[in-house]
Amino acid sequence: MTNTNTPKPTFPAEAATHEHAASLDAADPLREFRDKFIIPSKANIATKKLAKPGLSAESSIYFAGNSLGIQPKAVSKYMEAQLDTWSSIGVFGHFTDLEDSPLSQWQLLSEQAATSMSKIVGAQPDEVAAMGTLTMNLHLLLASFYKPTETKRKILMDWKAFPSDHYAIESHIAWHDLDAKENMVLIGPDEGEHEISTEKILSIIDQHVDDAALILLPGIQYYTGQLFDIPTITKYAQSKGMVVGWDLAHAFANAELKLHEWNVDFAVWCTYKYGNAGPGSMGGLFVHERHGQVDYSAGPDAPKFRHRLAGWYGGDRSVRFKMDNKFKPIPGAGGFQLSTSSVMDLTSLCAALSVFDQTSIQDLREKSIKLTAYLEFLLLKDTDEKTRLYDIITPSDPHARGAQLSVLLKPGLLHKVAERLQNAGIICDKREPGVVRVAPVPLYNTYSEVFSFVEEFKGALASS
């Protein structure tokens, strides 16, 4: 997480002008990264026909990176290189590093992606694997880490977890012939609150010291945008004998993470939100090095390792092609891989990660904090809490949130406001019954766009 000693950005009264927003953009050290992306044009998002990117057309204001990031220009270059590899050397692409290609040979491509992702999540490269999708990876890791006993069998989780997480946990409890209703403990905020305090989470952990086996929480809650105190919760839950896992779908490439240092047991994430790797793109997982060790002290054919649902691609490359049915896992997270990885998915992922390789999550987070604070400043400026038609339900503390602000509208306003924004070429995500999720992404969004959004948003409310 970002240094919590860093003060919250403040803005002078004159900051609520186009001119001030433009000055912030001019001083932005990351402003050139915007040119590395293809931003949907207003014309294209209004058409039903397949269209080429409107390079000279007016760009939309794209604040939906918390649902799907926009396309990096590098994707076309990387995909072309991959198609050329496949067409020119066929099966030899598995084992051949081609000069002038931005991509590794196919059997090493997942490691290329994992190395880049490890810098984003604060892990050692061998603690990260690029594979599958978030829910699939969650199932695989729950199969390895959820080991209920006669007394410790419950799983603690967020009360408003993304449905896929809820289904996954429910199914694993049922797999062990246990009652999900009795063994899922949902942690919610206090009455009238949206934020779940760290103290509340720790108190629930205390209540279930004797019967909980595992806790799984989102790094950032998808609905409210709250960033949880991952190191504090992890350390405390582990001290009480619980395994700790994190769903980082909204935290990956958004918040500053230090998974290795924080001693997290396992984590999963998708890469199509702030990671910009494309719709349904390949996910990632983290397994701390202590859980990925392979012990050969009993002999070369008797490795000891953490139980997992195994597949051949998790086998050590040096013996993978012996086909002797003796599983010798790759040490680390790579040993949790299953099938031959999708090269096309990895290509898109590596292309997106190449942009992150040119900066750091620390620099991105620094801009993000200021960009989101500017959004908050403009939304609250010249408004009266008692008469305002909306509330920001995301924590005001910049160290307790990511790039997203969730704006809760008064009943009956959501669809009118969302339609007005879309007609103006502003793309945001809406969630029933009344939340607009606004996510200015530091890689490609600007302060000027934030200003224009707030003008249009307040105008929509005034005309409702």
| Residues flagged as binding site | 134-135, 162-165, 247, 250, 272, 312, 340
Q: How far is CA 101 from CA 58, 276, 290, 349, in A?
A: 33, 21, 35, 15
CA distance 263 to 114: 18
The three-point CA angle 297-301-304 to 5° equals 50
DSSP bridge partners of 245: 216, 266
Please enumerate, by residue number, every residue annotated as part of a binding site for pyridoxal 5'-phosphate. Answer: 134-135, 162-165, 247, 250, 272, 312, 340
Q: Is 429 helix (H, G, I), strand (E, B) or coil?
A: strand
The whole-angstrom separation of Cα 271 and Cα 249 is 8
- Other Cβ atoms closer than 10 A to 432: 7
Report angle CA 439, 443, 449 to the nearest 5 degrees.
Answer: 55
Please report, for residues 389, 394, 397, 456, the alpha-carbon distance to residue 384 in angstroms, rounded to integers and kept in the order given: 9, 18, 20, 19
Structural element, H or E, at residue 317: helix 317-320
Q: Count the alpha carbons within 13 Å of 215 in the hemisphere toward its beta carbon.
A: 29
In whole angstroms, how far apart are CA 217 and each of 99, 167, 352, 420?
Answer: 43, 14, 26, 35
